Amino acid sequence: GDIVLLAKPVTLTEGDRVTLTTDVPVATDGTSKPEKLLYAVSLPPVHGQIEHINYPGVPISSYSQLDVVAQKASDVHDNSHGAGKQSLR
Domain spans in the chain, listed from the N-terminal domain onward: 18-22+35-76
Q: What number of H helices and E strands is found in the chain? A: 1, 9
Give me the pLDDT at residue 87, please.
46
User: Bigger pLDDT: 13 or 6?
Assistant: 13
pLDDT of residue 85: 47
User: Rounded to whole angstroms, how far apart are CA atoms 47 and 33?
Assistant: 33
Residue 82 has pLDDT above 70, yes or no: no
**CB-based contacts of 60, cutoff 8 Å, min separation 6:** 41, 49, 50, 51, 52, 73
Whether pLDDT at 53 is above 90 = yes
pLDDT tens digit string along 36-51?
Answer: 788 888 888 888 899 9
